[in-house]
Amino acid sequence: MRLLLAAILCVSVLAPWRTVIAQGVSYIGLCNRTWDCDNLMRTWDGKPIITGWLEESFGEKCECGKRILRSNKEKILRIHLINSPCMRNNRCEPSDVLYKQSAASASRKMLKPRSDVRRKFQRVVERFKRRIAASKGPLTCYVSPCLECDLYGPARKAMLDIVSVAVPACVLVDNPLKGGCVKGTVCERHGSDPGLSSPCIADLDGEELSKPVDIRRFYRNTRQCDLRFYWSSWMNCNGVKDTSRNMSPSFTPPSERRCSSSVFKTKEAGSIAWNLLSHR
């Protein structure tokens, strides 16, 4: 175990484009204001922080994300900047970069420096840049401009270029919903059998929504990847409404959800990631 920890912790933010071998939990919704960050931080006692989240949709302030970054502990993070599934499902909020866009319109606008979509994306990137600048302790950061991205290749390449300039020490990740990844990036795909080759990130995001999760199958099919993330639907704060605010009966926007991130759930998730995915 000590040798494993040493391998995991050997990379810092001062060494751009070097990758690591690690496993953690993808807490997509931890930017939500109701996320129990105290409980979450306790699950990493004696261990490095290995996690990821979505910068957009759940809350711009992202107090728990700030707390993680300002921890002196060793950190390996994968951050998605903007939310493409909300566009695909017609559920983006006005603050989301892809609000009232289609894959075609967003792809076209992302290539135009003065477009509303491009300017909104750049604001998200600048906000994330400030978070990274305030971080403490050893940090390896992987940045995906767009979660499960529907945008076309040239638009994703434009986003990656913007991110590269803003946070040059972070490793660039491409996470397209379909098709190939942009050349020169770490390719991320989701599901128990994502069909990846190194360098890659594998994530169970969305898997349990359609079928039971086979962790051991995921383990066997993703050994070659830099990072592997366990995910469960509660990590998107699904299923619990914040009754203090007005809500649509059919859908609760991410920023309006109340997260059920209990210490039991976070410890269980951390144990699954650490114990089942740690052996290569």
Q: Taking 90 as the threshold, does the pLDDT of residue 279 lie above it? A: no
Q: Are 38 and 267 in contact (CB under 8 A)?
A: no
Q: Taking 60 as the threshold, does the pLDDT of residue 187 lie above it? A: yes
Question: Could you give all domains of the chain from N- to C-terminal order, each with its CATH number?
Answer: 15-273 (3.20.20)
Comparison of pLDDT for 153 and 206, the residue scoring more: 153
pTM over 0.95: no
**What pLDDT, on a 0 to 100 scale, did the predictor assign at position 229?**
95
DSSP letter string, 157-191: HHHHHHHHHH-TTSEEEE-BSSSPPPTTSEEEEES
- Tell me which residue has tokens 């006005």: 94
User: What distance in Å separates the CA atoms of residue 153 and residue 158, rounded to the nearest whole number?
Assistant: 9
Q: Taking 60 as the threshold, does the pLDDT of residue 201 lie above it? A: yes
Q: pLDDT class for 122, splitting at 50, 70, 90?
A: very high
| % of the chain at pLDDT higher than 90 | 69
Q: Are 139 and 12 in contact (CB under 8 A)?
A: yes
Cis amide prior to 199 (ω within 30 degrees): yes
**Which segment of 48-62, 125-139, 184-198, 250-264 scores lowest on mean pLDDT?**
250-264
